């Protein structure tokens, strides 16, 4: 799967894909688009678009440029641009975005903060804060106590 990169003309980025049929654990940090088709547990830092398929589940927070959710997310969303919930999509957590759109039978269990100031969110800054040793130790203990696949993409 390929997406056009808006930051550099004529450059095509290879999308990061979490395929159906398995459970993936880890931290994803990327400038490429991401497509989740299976089950992912961890944290996503993406300076591009995140697509969660209808059958997919994410257990963890997502910080991104834009998100389209068709599945189930148990975690918070921080989005610089638009957060779109497709039909029957679910988010159990807080949503912060510049724009928000939801279709029939979709739901968010927490508050939704829509403000044009959210366009100033810096995903890399959040990653740096997250990556401080004391924060990372707490997160590693919570997320990484079981054998898993660790996804680190930059």
Please state whether the predicted TM-score (pTM) of the whole model is above 0.95: no
What mean pLDDT comes out for the span 109-125?
92
Encode 65-89: b = buried (16+ Cβ within 10 Å), e = exposed: bbbbbbbbbebbbbbbbbbbbbeeb
**Residue closest to 154 by CA, chosen among 69, 8, 48, 20:** 48
Listed ranges 38-42, 81-85, 115-119; the one with the highest mean pLDDT: 81-85
56-76 tens-digit pLDDT: 999 999 999 999 999 999 999
Q: Which residue has the tokens 């059958």?
A: 55
Each domain of the chain, given as residue ranges in start order, spans: 2-124
Average pLDDT, the chain: 83
């Amino acid at each position: 799967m390929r997406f056009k990169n808006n930051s550099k003309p004529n450059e095509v980025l290879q999308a990061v894909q979490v395929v159906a049929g398995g459970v993936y654990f880890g931290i994803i940090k990327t400038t490429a688009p991401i497509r989740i088709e299976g089950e992912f547990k961890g944290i996503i830092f993406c300076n591009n678009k995140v697509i969660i398929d209808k059958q997919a589940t994410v257990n963890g927070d997502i910080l991104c440029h834009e998100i389209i959710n068709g599945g189930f997310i148990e975690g918070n969303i921080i989005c610089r641009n638009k957060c779109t919930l497709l039909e029957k999509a679910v988010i159990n957590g807080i949503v912060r975005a510049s724009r928000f759109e939801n279709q029939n039978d979709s739901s968010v269990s927490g508050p939704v903060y829509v403000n044009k100031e959210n366009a100033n969110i810096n995903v890399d800054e959040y990653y740096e804060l997250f990556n401080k040793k004391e924060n990372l130790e707490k997160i590693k203990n919570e997320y990484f106590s079981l054998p898993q696949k660790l996804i680190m993409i930059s």
